[in-house]
Amino acid sequence: MSEFAAGKKERLEQLQKMFNRIMEGTDMNQLADEYKNCINTCVPADIVLLTDYLVATKTPMDDIKSGINKLLSLLHQTIASYPYSPPEKETYLGCLVENNRLLDERLQEITPLLKEFEQSPENKEVKNDLLKSFKELERFNNYYQIKEKILFPEIEKFIEEHRCISVMGSYHRDVREKMKQTIDELSGEEVNYDKFKKLSAELFYLMYTLKFREERILYTFVQNSMSNEVLNALFEDSLQIGFPFFHPQIKDNNLISLN
């Protein structure tokens, strides 16, 4: 048994205490000092197990999301530097990660438009370009539907500690609502720039947050718990919903092209 595996129970207990202290309003710098060893040794699976515990004990969803957000601000560097083996491109998870890569490209393409709009919020051409870009970004909802309708039910079958997916689903709903509000604001004749800036910033934060937590926490856990054979069998149903930014070519439940 590895040192990490041997310390799993202790780390989970420490993370539970940290979460409770966060919800009590304890200063984050104080927590960083007190739980330094736990912060430095935490592994992605610990976050899955903690979230599973919080959902199982009926912790309110808003408290889970708020507390985990703050907790991950302390753990982000440790999770980000944890050895990461991305799924192979020809696998189902690799296909999902490729969608995330293309999402990242589109978010980066929108960023200069946001800066230009900040300088000239009266510029109708930039406003229309932003509206078009956000409507294109809205297609990413297909990705979330694939997770909710295809991947998550399969995770429930194979992984006992699956309750973190309910938190993911709640974040999906948050993204959809922020996306709708952002597009609605841009669709009006006059844009309340301060409101739009707040909405778009929150939307970007949510989408980047989900991307990180998928790739560096949930999918790493799934990789170690489910076979590629089981996951690749999800391609057919997923294609019926449609991946948002590309049309993968599938043969015998294997991805043969990302073009």
Domain locations along the chain: 3-81, 92-257
pLDDT in tens, 89-112: 889 999 999 999 999 999 999 999
The hierarchical CATH code for the domain 92-257 is: 1.20.120.520
| CA dist list (Å): 113 to 106, 107, 109, 178, 244 | 11, 10, 8, 18, 22
Q: What is the mean pLDDT of the segment spanning 14-18? A: 97
Residue 255, pLDDT score: 61
Residue 135 banded pLDDT, cuts 50, 70, 90: very high
Tokens of 83: 């050895």
pLDDT in tens, 172-192: 999 999 999 999 999 998 999
Residue 31 has pLDDT above 60, yes or no: yes
Residue 254, pLDDT score: 65
Residue 17 banded pLDDT, cuts 50, 70, 90: very high
Residue 209, pLDDT score: 95
Taking all residues of the chain, what is their mean pLDDT, rounded to a whole number?
92
Residue 162, pLDDT score: 94
User: How much of the chain, in percent, has pLDDT values that exceed 90?
Assistant: 87
Measure the CA–CA gap between 145 and 143, rounded to whole angstroms.
5
Residue 7, pLDDT score: 72
Residue 1 banded pLDDT, cuts 50, 70, 90: very low
Residue 18, pLDDT score: 97
Residue 78 has pLDDT above 90, yes or no: yes
Residue 93, pLDDT score: 95
